[in-house]
Copies of this chain bind each other. A is one copy, B any other.
């Protein structure tokens, strides 16, 4: 997003866990702040120094330590790039349990530190479930070796969980043990045009019931997002007349063990949807080839790029109840209109898309330029809306440096006080990624 520019002059690139340990010891003694950095693909400034801290790049810790093709358990160093790991396990017929747009440059250590969600969460669950063990260098240089390859281990507090999503504020993740699922033999997708947002939830229920265990994505795109994606050349799956009268779109993906079974289930679903007395969808297009499959995904994944071509984006990544997705988007648009900010020289579009299955809405406000009055109109407005719904102000992007002030909208004073105590246990001198997640006191 180009909003964060670090001021650090020193970047260290250790090659071993032992070297990380020595760096941390040295910094801890001298009370020097350290910012662990993976692929630097985060969206909330989590891996950017705020006050001349040392940058600790994990890029050179990039070896796979082991892979067991029977259990599917992979042990990799933190600096391994997600795509490389995907390529590594592919010949063994396994896939990584996470997949995200930044896969070509993000690193597994960063994925774990930020508890990355992404496109496969609906199917394979969160990293809190799939990460089996971690190796972490604590701020004082101690190496915490919990790099177990056990699926089950009930021997005391599950300390590794604290580092998942701590954004490098409790220690430096140097190694990850993760369960990789068997690769599906077939993937199919279909795009559905819906006459009304009110049909999304009944549709989700129907799709879950019909596709059951082969459902691997259920992505929502509102009309504004769809039109922008198409305008900027991101996929063009539906004809003008098929799109006519559609208020929103849903992309459904299946992944399963046998192509003919999956196709039969998907065809039956479409049949059921189209022939219903009161159809939930206007139309549906099933991908017929790998090229079409990619083209449908390009539509969904291309929204980000379309938005960046269109103007300056304020991006909110929130969790709210599924039923309120549209109200939140429309409400934000009306709020901006009431402030006189909805016009060509201010906010051009307000749009929403995201993972319905996870309750995760990406709310984008596309403006002609970043303006203080837009910022002031959006915050705390959006955070208050989220808090009203008991939602999350950051579903998957994290807190970083950008949202520390907003943490109380999602976490109680009791929770934040406990987080500070935990931080003090691991990092009494406050040298680990200072000013991230928790505001400096």
Residues of A in contact with B (beta carbons under 8 Å apart): 69-71, 93, 114-115, 117, 121, 125-126, 128-130, 142-146, 148-159, 161-162, 164-166, 170, 182, 184-185, 201, 204-205, 208-214, 255-258, 261, 264-265, 319, 321-323, 355, 357-360, 390-399, 403, 407, 410-412, 414-416, 418-419, 421-423, 425-426, 437-438
Q: Which residues of B contact A142 (CB under 8 A)?
A: 414
Q: Which residues of B contact A359 (CB under 8 A)?
A: 71, 150-152
Given A145-B412, A418-B144, A70 and B201 contact (CB-CB distance below 8 Å): yes
- Whether B153 contacts A319 by the Cβ 8 Å rule is yes
- Whether A154 contacts B418 by the Cβ 8 Å rule is no
Nearest chain-B residue to A319 (Cβ)? B150
- Whether A390 contacts B212 by the Cβ 8 Å rule is no
Q: With A and B bound together, what is the CA distance between A209 and B182 in angstroms?
A: 7
- Whether B392 contacts A154 by the Cβ 8 Å rule is yes
Residue from the list B145, B158, B214 in contact with A161, Cβ < 8 A: B158
Given A128-B129, A182-B208, A421 and B414 contact (CB-CB distance below 8 Å): no
- Whether B396 contacts A154 by the Cβ 8 Å rule is yes
Q: With A and B bound together, what is the CA distance between A93 and B182 in angstroms?
A: 26
Q: Which residues of B contact A261 (CB under 8 A)?
A: 258, 261, 264-265
- Whether B407 contacts A155 by the Cβ 8 Å rule is yes
21 contacts between A and B (CB under 8 A): A70-B201, A115-B154, A115-B158, A117-B154, A121-B152, A125-B129, A126-B129, A126-B151, A143-B414, A149-B390, A152-B360, A155-B407, A155-B410, A156-B437, A157-B166, A159-B415, A159-B419, A159-B422, A182-B208, A213-B214, A213-B257
- Whether B151 contacts A390 by the Cβ 8 Å rule is no
Most buried by B among A115, A125, A256: A125
Q: With A and B bound together, what is the CA distance between A319 and B70 in angstroms?
A: 15
Given A145-B412, A418-B159, A71 and B322 contact (CB-CB distance below 8 Å): yes
- Whether A144 contacts B322 by the Cβ 8 Å rule is no
Nearest chain-B residue to A437 (Cβ)? B156
